[in-house]
Amino acid sequence: MKTRRDFLKTSGLLIASVGALSLSNDEIYTLAAQASGPYVDPDYLQLDSWIVIRPDNTATFFVGKTDLGQGTGTAFRQIMSDELDIAFDKTTCVMGSTNVTVDQGGSGGSDALQTDGYPMRRVAAEARRVLLDMAAVHFGVPVTSLTVSDGIVTVRGATPPRTVTYGELIGGKKFSVTLTGRNVDATTGVAKLKPVQEMKHVGKSPQRDDIPRKVDGSGKWAVDAKVPGMVHARNVKPPVAGATLVSVDESSVRSLPGFVRVVRKGNYLAVVCEREEQAIKAATQLKAEWRKPTSAPFPAASEFFGYLRTTQPAMSQPPAVTGDVEAAFASAAKVVEADYDIPFQGHTSIGPAHAMADPSNNQLTIYSNDMKSYGLRNGVARFLNIPREQVRVVWMDGPQAYGRTAADDAGFEAAFLAHEIGKPVRVQWSRAEETAWDTKGPAYAIKMRGAFDAAGNLIALDYDARAADHNHLGYNEFDTVLIAQLTGQRKQEPASGRASYPTDSYHVDNRRSTGSVVPLPLAWETPLRMGNLRDPDGPQVTFAVESFIDELAAAAKADPVEFRLKLLQARTSDDSGFKRARSIACVKAAAEKFGWDRRPSPKGGGTGNVVAGRGIAYAYRSQTVVAEIAEVEVNRTTGRIWVKRLVCAHDCGLVVNPVALTRTIENGILHGVSRSIFEEVAFDNEKVTAVDWITSPTLTHADIPERIDVVLVNGDPNPNRPDLPHYGAGETMLKPTMAAIANAVFDATGVRLRRVPFRAPRVLAALKA
């Protein structure tokens, strides 16, 4: 039986031959072929599962998260190098492969540093403590007389100098130290964490270690995984949602060169060929007869928001209420109302779904970019009804995830096909398949109401959301992924879904949030299936709330920044994370960086063809706060909006790598720009009609702002506390962008855009209305 220990021995051999610093995910891929099962879970209660130190004083950290291109692997090296007291450039980080790294859930919810950063710091601190104890024995002095820097332990004040390296103390040997903790997040030794003030790698910006291989072409990605005897599969999707596969004419492809097999189970249909281009051709040519469903699976996009507003919800959530909203509205001197529509938006990943599965040696190895590789492993074992010790996922680089691979269809399909035909199978979806059938961010229709008293004070704020988020998919569940639906192995009852509520810190005496979930007629085997798209509901909710706050400011003839600050400062109480204080700090920082001119919107007076304006919006997610200001130009003849400048004030607590964080924020707010101006899932009443980059437009380089300013704020009123937390930073920046742009368009034109996306024809129609 080969265990993790054997694996490390194997990797030790490799390290000896090609250099100590090269143990990376690429090597894990190379080594994967050598490690046969069963695949035992690395034990989170063993220090050796997390850190290996070699004789040359280098270290590798084993982290059960996945870096999707935000630099979390580099950040883990920074925080762990600091706690271990080893030179940053003598470390590597291996992530996400299920038999190599402890199950920390992979990635999701931007929790890598926020949640998992702490156990990783604690195990590194514990390794440092154990090594100092070893050094004390080595020198025969008390631990208190030792100092350590860059992995070199020194006896304080000794002449001649007495030093020993970590590598000399433990290199090639095991720690054999047992940790404690009721679950993986609670993993700890007995060592204490360093105060932030003593960290020297945290707060610097070493270059991300994943970037060179992405730039020189040397990286091995999940799309590149290949093993001898591998064949290629392509799916044939139902032509319309809910179609039943009546018959397949295999003779239509049997004579094609390289043909291997047609695989059919229920409504799942795939064709397998020896070469990739052969499989693509065969999938196009395969004749199959499908029966359309007897009733429409969903209304067409043009009818959709009417449907969402008038259809009986499947579920109504308990309201969140403070004060007496109805009484406040009854007594109001002025009431403002508005409706906001946010359509379905897709992931439309640049790289369609893919995976390769190898069934050799009666095991199943899946080479995958799944952000939740551990969930894929567990889900596949259950789906195929095989012991999970036979299954492992080798995690590799992959295209833009942002939630798409949380329901990893291709991973399950490759595993199913490999299991079915007994050969290694690589599968990749077509562009049309990915764009039409990927998981979607749910559509929302939101009604906002606000009430002012006679003195012009905002006395009530009412939020009511209808979310098309029925049957929101879970994480790699064996009974909800698409192949489980198509093969008839799905669960009976759809998930109830959810309608999210605002999470801002505005104080209004009477405030209510209500929400309900409206189902589409067809819950299963449909391309309109809801999943996690980068803060799954945040942009929708924030578009409505932050647009409406702006409408209220305009109704009160108040400056939009001052109006927000007044609502944020209406109370002094705060939560333990200083959410209110940090919200105020971000709004002020954004306004200052932008050079905000205090005045009510709209600006007025613009008479030219192109008019300019600015708008602010603010949002909050899981302790991370952002405020964004957009400066836009609106072409009144064409309806084109150009976001000329963006300012983002961002507070995610302790910043580990400012350069990597800044890039992540820039990219995220541009994703927000793309979703604001371009992105919407097109569909008729039987299928998604968005199938490529023409029918599913996206932001391109042509339309990027000429300037983006990211201000890293730390609005913590107690910045000296030793435990200054590091929060997540992968999603919050996306939330306010839609509203910031809509508010800027209002400032420029006096016209309010309440329907996303702000494509030119829609803007033009609004300008002319």
Tell me the pairing of strands 91-95 and 59-63: parallel
| 33 belongs to the binding site for another protein (CB under 8 A) | no
Cβ 690 to another protein, closest distance in Å? 13
What are 270's two structure tokens? 């795939």
Please give the structure tokens belonging to residue 693: 């980059």
Contact by Cβ (8 Å): 438, 347: yes
Strand partners, 269: 264
- Residue 719: half-sphere exposure toward Cβ, Cα within 13 Å: 9
CA distances from 512 to 308, 319, 391, 547 (A): 21, 7, 48, 17
Considering only residues 98, 99, 317, 349, which one is a binding residue for another protein as defined by CB under 8 A? 349
| Phi and psi torsions of 287, nearest 5° | -90, 125
Q: Confirm or reject binding of residue 26 to another protein (CB under 8 A).
A: no
Q: What token pair was written down for 3?
A: 């265990």
**Does 632 participate in binding another protein (rule CB under 8 A)?**
no
Nearer to another protein, 134 or 673 (CB): 673
Q: Is 208 in the site for another protein (CB under 8 A)?
A: yes
758/697 Cα distance (integer angstroms): 12
Smallest separation (angstroms) from another protein to the CB of 431:
4
Query: Torsion angle, CA of 248/353/414/484, rounded to 10 degrees?
Result: -70
Q: x/- contact string, 248-267, with another protein (CB under 8 A)? A: ---------x----------
**218 sits near another protein (criterion: CB under 8 A):** yes
User: Least separation, in Å, of the C-beta of 740 and another protein?
Assistant: 16
Helical pair 560-568 and 579-594, crossing angle rounded to 10 deg: 160
Candidates 143, 663, 684, 764; binder of another protein (CB under 8 A) is 663
Q: Report the C-alpha gap between 672 and 740 in whole angstroms.
A: 10
Burial of 521 (0-12, 13-18, 19+ CB in 10 A): middle
Q: What tokens appear for 206 in the block?
A: 């070493």
Q: Is position 217 an interface residue for another protein (rule: CB under 8 A)?
A: yes
Structure tokens at 68: 């999707």
CB 94 within 8 A of CB 127: no
To another protein, the closest distance from the beta carbon of 746 in angstroms equals 24
Q: Is 93 in the site for another protein (CB under 8 A)?
A: no
Judge whether 722 and 735 are in contact, CB under 8 Å.
Answer: no
Residue in 667, 685, 689, 714 binding another protein, rule: CB under 8 A = 667
Q: Using CA atoms, how far apart are residues 123 and 245, in angstroms rounded to an integer?
A: 53
SS3 call for 186: helix
Contact 345, 675 (CB under 8 A): yes
Nearest-approach distance from CB 351 to another protein, in angstroms: 5
d(CA 135, CA 623): 40
**Shortest Cβ 215–another protein spacing (Å):** 5
Kindly tell me the burial class for residue 527, based on how many C-beta atoms sit within 10 Å of its own C-beta (0-12, 13-18, 19 or more): buried
Shortest reach from residue 245's CB to another protein, in Å: 24
230 three-class SS: coil
DSSP β-bridge partners for residue 649 = 627, 711
In this chain, which stretch among 265-273, 391-399, 411-419, 605-613 interacts with another protein, using CB under 8 A? 391-399
Using the CB atoms, write b or e for 625-640: b if 16+ within 10 Å: bbbbbbbbbbbbeebb
438 touching another protein, by CB under 8 A = no
Q: How far is the CB of 399 from another protein (least distance, A)?
A: 4
Asked if 737 contacts 699 with a C-beta cutoff of 8 angstroms, the reply is: no
The verdict on 226 binding another protein (CB under 8 A) reads: yes
- 706: contact with another protein by CB under 8 A: yes
In terms of CB distance, is 278 or 624 closer to another protein? 278
Q: Is 635 in the site for another protein (CB under 8 A)?
A: no
* 207 sits near another protein (criterion: CB under 8 A): yes
Only one of the segments 140-148, 372-380, 417-425, 656-664 lies at the binding site for another protein (rule: CB under 8 A); that segment is 656-664
Under rule CB under 8 A, residue 475 binds another protein: no
| Per-residue x/- track, 49-68, another protein (CB under 8 A) | -------------------x
The mark string for 573-602 relative to another protein (x by CB under 8 A, - otherwise) is ------------------------------
Give the Cα separation of 149 and 84 in Å (integer). 9
Please tell me whether residue 178 binds another protein under the rule CB under 8 A. no
Q: Which of 277, 337, 575, 723 binds another protein (CB under 8 A)?
A: 277
d(CA 21, CA 171): 14
Q: Which stretch binds another protein (CB under 8 A): 108-116, 121-129, 341-349, 359-367?
A: 341-349
CA proximity to 299, closest of 683, 679, 681:
683
Q: Which tokens hold the place of 483?
A: 């192949």
Q: Which residue, 397 or 546, is less far from another protein as judged by CB?
A: 397
Rank residues 257 and 387 by Cβ distance to another protein and give the closer one.
257
Nearer to another protein, 283 or 484 (CB): 283
Nearest-approach distance from CB 489 to another protein, in angstroms: 29
223 is a contact residue toward another protein (CB under 8 A): yes
Number of residues that bind another protein (CB under 8 A): 62
Write out the binding residues for another protein, residues 675-704 only, by CB under 8 A: 692-694, 698-702, 704
Nearest to 23 by CA among 58, 57, 75, 66: 58
CA distance 653 to 585: 12
Q: Which residue in the set 428, 500, 601, 676 belongs to the binding site for another protein (CB under 8 A)?
A: 428
State yes or no: residue 401 binds another protein (CB under 8 A): yes
Binding mask 63-92 for another protein (x = CB under 8 A): -----xxx----------------------
CB 463 within 8 A of CB 503: no
399 near another protein, rule: CB under 8 A:
yes
Options 467, 584, 629, 708; binder of another protein; rule CB under 8 A: 708
* Binding piece for another protein, criterion CB under 8 A, among 135-143, 221-229, 235-243, 325-333: 221-229
Whether the upstream peptide bond of residue 55 has omega within 30° of 0, thus cis, is no
Shortest Cβ 539–another protein spacing (Å): 14
Q: From the list 398, 441, 531, 539, which residue makes contact with another protein (rule: CB under 8 A)? A: 398
Q: Is 348 in the site for another protein (CB under 8 A)?
A: yes
In angstroms, what is the minimal distance from the CB of 697 to another protein? 10
Helices then strands, counting H and E runs in the chain, come out as: 20, 27
Q: Site residues (CB under 8 A) for another protein?
A: 68-70, 207-208, 210-212, 214-221, 223-224, 226, 257, 275-278, 280, 347-352, 397-401, 428, 430-431, 659-660, 663-664, 666-668, 670-671, 673-674, 692-694, 698-702, 704-706, 708
